[in-house]
Structure 1
Amino acid sequence: MPLSLYLLAVAVFAMGTSEFMLAGLLPDIADDLGVPVGEAGLLTAAFAVGMAVGAPLMAALARRWPRRTALLAFLGLFFAAHVVGAVADGLPVLLGTRVIAALANAGFLAVALTTAAALVPADRKGRALSVLLGGTTAATIAGVPGGALLGALLGWRAAFWAVALGCAPAALGVLRGVPGGRGGSRSSADPRLRAELAELRRPRLAVVMAGTALVTAGTFGAFTFLAPVVTEVAGLGPFWVPVALVLFGVGSLAGVTFAGRLSDARPGTVLAVCGPLLPVGWAAFALAAPHPVALLTMTLVQGALGFAVGSTLIARVLYEASGAPTMAGSYATAALNVGAAAGPVLAAATLDASATGPAWTAVALAVAALLCAPVFRALAVRGILVEGAGR
């Protein structure tokens, strides 16, 4: 894999840390700004919605820019949003910075996904994607706990400053590692925006995007409410919450790495094996919750299964959207973040019934994703998951 992919992953790490770190900072933010914790929770929702909506909008805006220019512009906007957020004296300002940061994150990830696919041979998109998404999983392992620790020691504003500073090495990596060519050319061979958007009407692409959103919704819904399962159901102390989060992150990294090695040549194997295991695993997670050792084991396993299936499906979006060379990354980003936004909302609705409600919600969402299996099976058996397949 090219070094530039790993440099892009550094930026994805910083952005992933920003997206997830609020889970450990919301009480301090609410106390400092004088608002209820529930109201401060709008910061998380605003970021997720901004990511889902911003991906296609930002990609469309930057589709004619040189890739390096687009990536640096989005990094600069992300940096500025965190600087302003670090000095914000009220929730409305901070909320605005989260929306702007989400738009910048969405734009960066959309262009980065397209760039990653262009930096490798056509049959290695999945492997390239696993390197890029490794930045997100690394954020759950190190960035999120680190941000929570920094916030506890120096205040939540210090975590925002740390993320802003993290943009510097990422920008250097983009400058040194990403070619300066255009994300899309102005030649007659390059499809117009309307033609690229028309790709969304293709049933195969729509089904793969839906499967991606459903799997992601289940994974993020259960992950968001992992803490009450650890403390209330398993009866462990607060110290074990970051341990569980790290285990989930380690599993996620393992799942992405595993899928990255198989999702190009043998995607059907990953989906056929890990897909059915995903809802079974979430059910086992819920049933094992009262038993600490079993719960922590299943946390690791479900992180691996969720990200193995999810990253494979994201790679499929890039393959299926090959007719939209400048917008494919935004379609994958939008599907990912629709799930990331909807999953916690759906899971939260089940918390009153039980702390394990989000896990059972993940079971239902994973089963719904399996309804896409006939399409996935056809793709795997026929072995046509290459650019231009099925046209």
Structure 2
Amino acid sequence: MKLPHDGDRDIRTDLSPLNPLGRAYKPQCEAVKLHCSDAAQQRNRSRTLFALALGSFCIGTSEFASMGIIQLFSASLGITIPQATNAITAYAFGVIIGAPLVTLAAARLNRRTVLLGLMALFIVGNLLSAAASDLGLLMVARFVAGLPQGAYFGAGAVVASYIVGPGHSGKAFAIVMAGLTVATIFGSPLATILGQTLGWRETYVAVAALAGFALLAIHLWVPRSAALNGSPVMQELSALRKPAVWGVMLVAAIGVASIFAVYTFIGPLVTDTAGRTPAMIPVALGLFGLGMTAGNLFGGRLADGSPVRGIVIGFGCALVVLAILAMGGANVWILLPAMFGVGATMMTAIPTIQVRLTRLAPEAPSLMGAMNIAALNVANAVGAWAGGIAIGARLGLLAAVWAGFALTLAGLLIFGLTLIGSRRRPLPA
């Protein structure tokens, strides 16, 4: 069967032949018709992009580290692992609720001011997490820590696009997003090691301290410019009146959930299912992160050539890897490569989801950037919840993988329905 090419639109506008990920994210950034013309600000653009990426690195580390230390805080608080997943789900709900509400509440503010406020709120959330004395307080703290995430990436995309100007904005946004991906390779494993060595509370304190440096970097290196002032709230809200936008977000929320159904339980899978020591958990986390990075790059290339294939190939290959993991995960030599495979296959689909979403609503770049993150955090909540339900039903830890398999299969079927709808109602060029 020949797959459609997203309404036969040409999205191969090149930023750099060596940067497929940058090309994949170009539509989002080109939606922002801003450009930094000040020579001094242009010279500082590398530092500005670094500041934005450092902030996203902190956010990614905080989000994914919770999954690596789930055994530690569940034991410390005297709760079961399925109960502990509620703290992870609370963070995801913070992102889901915060993405539209915080973005719209701050719509008219200068993006630099927004970024500073969001990073400050993120620091508070992580310090509260470190101080939590029971599951209820930890859930509240993780919810607070999740509130800034979606709005941060939406505002960060606008700032990055402004800094680099026409022709390179996709590459800039990819660098900002890379902070989140790199966090899965280095930040999360290191945070897990820190938790195992000093304690899980110290993990959140360390994230808050690093976020303090990100706050300082944003203060110093993100330019003060009236060009970064916000836009009318109704302009952003207009995007939410488009059914196709909700369809794409539903595909992301359901189909990508399997990555979190697996990632949430990496620790128990390594120690209880494969019978390895906790020292192997950071290795599994690192392999997962490497897979996510590789999949992001490959997905960017697919999104340029044929966006539809990015989701079909990503979800389809993920189903194969998930089935292998579910059947053979007790063997560490199957488990570890499968960690790489799940990360790679699922992340292959994400650049395409981003491209389709932002092409549907180029008039609302901040909100679409935030809503994309919100959809992926719905996937986070759904994946952790489904995995926890499967394990809680005494079906074993690998039942969480089968739950992820079912979710990705459902996402692929939903995507097929959206393709049928798009043939009847072509997407805007």
TM superposition score category, shorter chain reference: 0.7 to 0.9
Q: What is the rounded CA distance, in whole Å, between the counterparts of 1:21 and 1:124 in structure 2?
A: 32
1:206 aligns with 2:246: yes
The answer to whether the 8 A contact 2:129-2:204 is kept is yes
**Residue in structure 1 matching 2:112, options 68, 88, 111:** 68
| Alpha-carbon contact 2:249-2:372 (below 8 Å) kept | yes
- The answer for unaligned runs of 5 or more in structure 1 is none
> Partner amino acid for 1:356?
L
Distance 1:239 1:336, change over 3 A: same
Hey, what does 2:195 align to over in structure 1? 151
Q: Find the aligned partners of 1:242 and 1:112 in 2 and give their Cα distance.
A: 29
Deviation at 1:72, TM superposition (A): 0.7
Quote the residue 1:56 is aligned against. Answer: 100
| Percent of paired sites with the same residue | 32
RMSD of aligned alpha carbons: 3.2
Q: Could you tell me the TM-score, scaled by structure 2's length?
A: 0.78
1:360 to 402, 406, 415: 402
The TM-score normalised by the length of structure 1 is 0.84
Query: How much does 1:230 deviate?
Result: 3.3
Task: Give the SS at the match of 1:109.
Answer: helix
Other-structure match for 1:22 = 66
Pairwise CA distance, 1:334 = 1.4
Matched, 1:227 2:249: no
- Residue 256 of structure 2 aligns to a residue whose secondary structure is helix
Give yes or no for the alignment of 1:348 onto 2:385. Answer: no
Q: How does 1:1-391 map to 2 (within 5 A)?
A: 3=46, 4-29=48-73, 40-89=84-133, 92-116=136-160, 127-181=171-225, 192-264=232-304, 266-351=306-391, 352-371=394-413, 372-373=415-416, 375-376=418-419, 390=428
Once residues 183 and 368 of structure 1 are traced to their aligned partners in structure 2, the CA distance between those partners, rounded to angstroms, is 43
The number of residue pairs the alignment matches comes to 381
> Which runs of no fewer than 5 residues in structure 2 stay unpaired?
1-21, 23-44
Write the letter of the residue equivalent to 1:7. Answer: A
The farther-off stretch of 356-365 and 127-136 is 127-136
1:316–1:155 Cα change, 3 Å = same
Q: How much does 1:22 deviate?
A: 2.3
Per-residue Cα deviation, 1:21-74 (whole angstroms, up to 9, x for no partner): 223434544555566666554322221111111110110111111111100111
C-alpha contact 2:85 2:384 (8 A) present in aligned 1: no
What is the CA–CA distance in structure 1 between the aligned matches of 2:332 and 2:83, rounded to whole Å? 32
The AA in structure 2 aligned to 1:252 is M
Displacement after TM superposition at 1:220 (Å): 0.7
AA aligned to 1:69 is T
Contact 2:292–2:346 (CA under 8 A) maintained in structure 1: yes
Report the residue type matching 1:15 in the other structure: I
Give the whole-Å Cα distance in 1 for the aligned partners of 2:387 and 2:135: 25
Letter in 2 for 1:141: I
**SS of 1:64 mapped into structure 2:** coil
